[in-house]
Amino acid sequence: GQQLNQSPQSMFIQEGEDVSMNCTSSSIFNTWLWYKQEPGEGPVLLIALYKAGELTSNGRLTAQFGITRKDSFLNISASIPSDVGIYFCASGANSKLTFGKGITLSVRP
């Protein structure tokens, strides 16, 4: 089946640093979504991308839909402690989403 690849599994950064996360696939997708999950909660949508090459920002977050439609990245600038969590990329067609395995982000104060 379709798979979304996210690595590494964990990232550790210092408060104030920028961080970039990648998501790749061997399949072409028409939508890329980035979600954040905090302990005990459901995934929360951060950014949705619908067009190849699209670059979208949401506060300190910026995400891009790759031109090949097989990848996307998420940048977080000037990280703060509350950025900790698991960041999932997701994509899919029609009625269901496929999620990546997620990247756990830790921010050291």
Partner 1 sequence: EPEVTQTPSHQVTQMGQEVILRCVPISNHLYFYWYRQILGQKVEFLVSFYNNEISEKSEIFDDQFSVERPDGSNFTLKIRSTKLEDSAMYFCASRGQYNSPLHFGNGTRLTVT
Report the nearest approach of partner 1 to the CB of residue 6 (Å): 9
Residue 109 touches partner 1, criterion: CB under 8 A: no
From candidates 19, 21, 23, 33, binder to partner 1 by CB under 8 A: 33
CA distance 5 to 101: 7
Report the nearest approach of partner 1 to the CB of residue 99 (Å): 4
Tell me the backbone φ, ψ of residue 16, rounded to 5 degrees.
Answer: 95, -20
Residues in the chain: 109
Q: Give the largest CA-CA distance in the chain.
A: 41
Residue 48 touches partner 1, criterion: CB under 8 A: yes
Inter-residue contact 79 to 13 (CB < 8 Å): yes
Interface contacts to partner 1, rule CB under 8 A: 31, 33, 35, 40-45, 48, 88, 90, 92, 94-102
